[in-house]
Each structure stands twice: as C-alpha cells, then as structure tokens.
Structure 1
Amino acid sequence: MRFDVTILGSSSATPIFNRNPSAQVLNINERLFLIDCGEGTQQQLLKNGIKAQRINHIFISHLHGDHYLGLVGLLSSLHLYGRIRAMEIFGPPELKEILDIQFKYSQTNLRYPIEFHATQTDRPALIYENPDIRVESFPLEHRIPCTGFRFSEKNRLPKIIREKVEELNIPIDVIPLIKKGADYTDERGIVYNASDLTFAADAPKSYAYCSDTICNWKYIDQIRGVDTLYHEATFMNDMADRAAETFHTTTIQAAEVAKLAGVKQLLLGHFSARYRELEPLQEEARTVFPNSRLALEGQIFVI
C-alpha cells in the first residue's frame, strides 16, 4: 500500500525565500488527503503534478492565515473545473462561517456539496474512518484553538501465498475466507490450516501532523509510536523565549517530543522567515533525535 507525504509548503506566517505557507498532501493507497491549505497551495499542487480534483478530504488545523487562506481559492477553482463530487472538510467550527460568507458575497454557488465536520479543540476524537485508515484529531496549544492530526492504517488481513493457491487449485471465492482465518478443506477431505496458506501483511503505518503549538508535552500519547511525525520547529533553540511567547516550538523541543514519543522519523517544518538557510535547524535537532529531516517543499517522504 502506498503511504507517503508531499510537502507543498513549510514556511511560517509568510511566503519567503521560495518557501510557501503550510500545506501537504498525504497519499494513502492512492487516496489524497490535503493537510492545511496556506496561500499558494494551488500553484504548489500544479508544480508537483498533483491533480486537485483527486482530493476529497481537507484537514485544517487552525484559523491562522498561513494555514487556510488558500482554501477558498482552491474550492472555487474546483467549482470552475466542474467538480460535482462532495468535498469533506475537517476544521475549526468557525471555518464553516468563513466559507459561507466568502461564497455568499462572491455570489458563488458551488456545483458540488461541502460536507463540513467541525473538529474538537479540547479533546482527542476520531474524525474520519474508511476501510483502510483512521484519522484522529487532538488538541495542541497555540494562541488560538488548534488541532493536530494522526493518520493510522488499520491492521490488514494476511496475504495469501499464491503458489499454494495454485498448487491446491483453491477456488477464488474461498480466498477471502482463508484470509480471515478459515481453514481450507479440499475435495479429498484434507484440511489445510489458514496459517499455512497465508503470510502476515505489512505492519500498519502511521503519520502525525503537529502544526502550531507550544511544547507542553500534553499530546505525546496521541502521537506515540508513529512512523513519521511532522512537527513545527519555528525557531532554533536560542530563540526559546520567543517560541514560548508566540506559542511555538524550537528545533530541540521538537526533537525531544519525537524522542519521548518513540517515533521513527521526524520532519521539521513551519520555519521562521528569519532563517534563509535551514541546515542549521536540522543539525540542531539531530543532536537530540538523529533521524530528523527538513520538510522541504517538493520532497516526498515515504512513510
């Protein structure tokens, strides 16, 4: 199963040094999930060869402009492209009012429905589920209500051993039952255990997104053990006071979160405009958590 994330934007507050505000696309088994939608997201989708029409789910962490000001433009463009399929949007309750007002005063009647789901900013919650994955939101602590998101694959059924199926001439309609643990009895009455006809599927993968937050450790359990964690690292550690003042996180703090939560890979993002060169941020984080990487625009990280 494909499971990767494409970084569209990783700048904080403003576009600068060819870095765009927050946005990324998570591809899970060829289903695309847009996480945050800062200014310029449409251009970044085009630049990275991602068709906006394939996106059916959008997750907005909070209502600071660098995380959602590209949303109205994207939804409007999809309308002009002739989209008719519903778009599901998950975000703060107030976002629904913002969208309604924008479309009201631009006299835009979208050709497609928006299914809006208000996120909970005071407690963790399961907000989306399909046969492959679960998506949970959890509160972060920023200047305004903000949520993180965790995308987790569900446990998958064992895989069938193709050679055994062909050797025993097992009917196709029996294979789903074997995957679910049923033994197979052939025409001669010989019983073959399901465990001998299958092998374990790949371990389920997981991805967590922590956009803007002060480092308060309260969300550790929600991100524990994920394969890849995207965590804001707006400032280097010499700016810790400024980070606390603005309810942001430093590189060292993000690395400490990753280490404490037992994640496998840390992606650093939401970089302050004060930093033209980003390598020092990565180097600093690696002093605490070696598998720290920069979430640079256009990069695809396999999870």
Structure 2
Amino acid sequence: MDMTRRPRRLRRDGIRELVSETSLDSSDLVVPIFVDATTDERVPIESMPGHERVPVEDAVARVEEALDAGVEAVMVFGIPESKDERGTRAWAENGVVQRAVRDITAETDAYVITDVCLCEYTEHGHCGVLASEARESWEERRSDDVLEADAEADGRLTVQNDETLDLLAKTAVSHAEAGADMVAPSSMTDGMIRAIRAGLDDAGFENLPVMSYAVKYESAFYGPFRDAADGAPAFGDRRHYQMDPANRREAMREARLDVEEGADALLVKPALPYLDIVSDVRREFDHPVAAYNVSGEYAMLHAAAEKGWLDVEETALESLLSVKRAGADLIVTYFAEDVAPLLD
C-alpha cells in the first residue's frame, strides 16, 4: 500500500468539520403547516407524527412554534370550509389561506410561502377544472355512490389545462394580496408560471417571487400528505398531469419551460427517490433549487424509528444532508423543527 495516501488523516475531530464539503443549516429549511377552516381545535395527523391541522385562529401560534425551533420559513396549505367543482375557495378573499397569511404576516417575521393549487378546494380532488366528459362521468358515479376508478372512467379523466390557468393566477394574486412573500404553484399545469407571473405583474406584485414545482412526479410517497391536506382525488389518479417516475430527460424540459416563463426558483418533488433529478436541475440551471422531502419520506422514517430499527433524528439529518449534497439550496421538510435545533 502507498502509505503517502491516507484519507483517514482528514477524518479526525477538528479537521473533519473544516474539510466538510456540504453543510446543512436551519436557514435552508422550510416547514409545511396545515391550516384547517373546518375545525376549532388542533387535529393530529396520524400518518405524520408530530404534525397537526390547526384552526385559522392557531395559525400564528403554529408559525411561532416553528420560529422558536429556529426555522425561518413556512409553506402554508389550507383545508377550506367547503369545496365545489372549480375550487372557488382557493382564491376567495376570506379563504383559509388568505386569512391565515394575513394573520401570520401581521404578527410574525416568518417568510411565508403559499401553495398554489386547486386539489384541496375541488370536490373531485384534481388539480384543475375537469373536462365536461370527465365531470359528467364523476357526477354520475358520485350519484350512484360508486367512486372507485375503473378503466373507462379513468380514460375520460381530463383536466382542462388552459381553463385552469386563469384560476391559478387568481389564486396566486389573492395570496399576494393577503401578504405572502412567495407563491409556489404545484399543479403541473402547462403554462402556469407564465399565467401566474402575468397575473402578479398586472396586480402590482412584480417583485413577488414564484417558486415553481417544476418537476413533480406522480408518486406513491404523497399518501400521508393527502390525508393531511384532504386533497386525495375522488377517483382516478394524477398521472395525466404529474410526471412519470421513469422519466429523467423530461424533467429538464419541464424545468426549462418554467425558467423561460419567469420562475424564480425551481422545486423537485419528491426529494430522496429523485436525487438524480435534483442534481440534474442544479447542473443545468443557475436558479435556486428546492427539493420537497415529502410526507411519505417523513412517515417511513418515523415508522422505522417506532420499531426501534433506526434513530429518527440521525436518519433525518443524514437524509437532509444528502438532499443538500445533491444540489438543493433549500428543503421543504416536515423534519425542519426536529433538526433545526440540532444544526444551530
């Protein structure tokens, strides 16, 4: 062995930290919070230990908990008091997100990002307006109390792309008017960044940034989130508008379109199963890159920890560090409040 080469020399305490190639800081983290207009008390999310739906009146307290833990940014999701075919509560002036954001920005120093989508607000749970044939199929099966998907019904499932764009823009503008610091459209609607950017600019919010869910896969890792946000589709799935997990090159096309349309930051979702995509986006674009460490990633580590198979804090830190190492500048994660005190 050539004894002049000993990598272990740089792994000792003292020097190890000095030569560390990747760092993780609490300022890299964004914690999602769920505000529920249908409840007047906190409701634990069983599939996501440690997280709750909170009533609008508790939104400020919930954000203050994150700030006390050392997390500086939150992403707000809303569960509305009612739903309809087009998701009109998504852009209502007195909607759940709008009310919560007004309170949070008035009473805290948190950086507030809002999710811009329609799935939590539509009766059918899809991320946009349904085509007439899909709507008729759904309404017929709903009236018969038969909501499970079948091949014929799923074949008729079409979300109207262009008709959805105006509704996303209206939602983003309403969030900006409520005081959001950034909006994050997540519906994977073609042209959504251009529509939202135009809507914000026309409303006088030229300086409000847009973080696009530029690369969002149709993933099995979203299960606990759909429980948390009450956003599961009533029938079918979202593979007609979210990305195929098999596709890598397509991710670059998606991200490039959003850059061309005016996105200020690019988000990849999920994170851990798609670290290659995070790395690709980092190399290809000079925009800030975000990654969403999703609910399924969070839940499975907690489940293993409950079995005594691993230490949840150590595993969470290692997982988040891997996301940073892959190229993410910021990470949306349910672990934020758990690991932030450890980082500082």
TM-score by length of 2: 0.36
Greater helix share, structure number? 2
Specify which structure has the bigger relative contact order, considering alpha-carbon pairs within 8 angstroms and separated by 6 or more residues: 2
TM-score by length of 1: 0.40
